[in-house]
Each structure stands twice: as C-alpha cells, then as structure tokens.
C-alpha cells in the first residue's frame, strides 16, 4: 500500500515536472514587444526585432507567427524603401477617402479598422536552419492606422 502510494506519487511528480517543462518551453517561444508610433498612418520596420526573437528561440525548423492584437494596425511584408513606403501611405489614404463611414457615429476611426482588416493583423513565415525564409525585399512592418499609439507585437515561434 505504502510503496504503491510512493511510486504513484513519484510518477505523478515526474508527470507534473514534464508538464511544467513543456509549459516553460512553450512560454519561451512566445515573446512580445511594444513600440510607440509617431503618425496617424505609418510603416514601422520590425524585421530585426522579429529575427532576434527567432534566433533566441533556438528553433531551427518551424514557423513564426507575427501578430498584432489591435484592430487598427496591421502586419505587412514589403520592401523597406522610402518611396514605396510613401506610396503605401498614399494608397491607404485613397482607399478610405471621401467615404461616409457608419462606425464614425460612435468612434472616429472607421478608416483605421478597415485598413487594418485589409492589410491583416498577422503573418506566418517559415523558419529553416534557424532563419526566417523571406525574400530580399520582404521586410516585416507594423502598419499603424490610428496613431500615434503604443502597439504590441506578439511573436510566436512553433517547432
């Protein structure tokens, strides 16, 4: 009786320890950072920050999810070239200009929600040999549509 209890407790202890280790490992693979935007509409290059997190995760093959938990911001992949960034801002303005938005009756940012929805609030990229696979002209941007604000970016690395 006594020995059975002891061994069960031992087994349970091991199971709990294993579970805890799995949880800790999972926790390590989820990182977040914040940044402060300066303009109402803005593109902020976050490639270096995301790549640093992937490197620190030590995951060699897997996926990385870059997600922003906001409905007035987005995650975009494009070239970090000043002309192109201005072109994006121009097209964002054009998409939402001259329209009478119903949401503005309760909150003055329908355009921000719409642009965020169109760009999307997350991207998933492959990781191989410890590096994110992306094209030379594919930098990772946070797109601000209702700034200036503090924005959170969640980076989840999955094996």
Return the residue of 56, 61, 107, 128 that touches Zn ion, per CB under 5 A.
107
Stretch that binds Zn ion, among 28-36, 89-97, 104-112, 134-142 (CB under 5 A): 104-112
Q: How far is the CB of 103 from Zn ion (least distance, A)?
A: 6
Minimum CB–partner distance for residue 107 and Zn ion (Å): 3
Strand order of the β-sheet with 122-128 is 30-36, 150-158, 62-67, 122-128, 131-132
109 binds Zn ion (CB under 5 A): yes
Three-state DSSP class for 4? helix
Residue closer to Zn ion by CB (options 87, 107) is: 107
In angstroms, give the least distance from the CB of 121 to Zn ion: 14
Bin 45: left if φ > 0, else alpha if -120 < ψ < 50, else beta.
beta
Residues that bind Zn ion (CB under 5 A): 107, 109
């Amino acid at each position: 009786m006594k020995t059975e209890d002891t061994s069960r407790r031992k087994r349970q202890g091991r199971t709990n320890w294993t579970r805890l280790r799995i949880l800790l490992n999972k926790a390590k693979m989820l990182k977040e950072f914040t940044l402060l935007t300066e303009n109402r509409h803005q593109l902020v290059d976050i490639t270096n920050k995301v790549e640093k997190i992937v490197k620190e995760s030590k995951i060699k093959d897997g996926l990385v999810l870059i997600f922003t938990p906001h409905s007035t911001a987005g995650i975009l992949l494009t070239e970090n070239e000043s002309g192109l960034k201005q072109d994006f801002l121009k097209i964002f303005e054009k998409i939402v200009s001259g329209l009478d938005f119903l949401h503005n009756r309760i909150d003055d940012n329908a355009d921000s929600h719409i642009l965020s929805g169109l760009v999307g609030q997350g991207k998933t990229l492959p990781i191989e040999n410890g590096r994110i696979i992306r094209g030379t002209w594919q930098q990772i941007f946070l797109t601000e549509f209702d700034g200036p604000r503090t924005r959170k970016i969640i980076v989840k690395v999955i094996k």
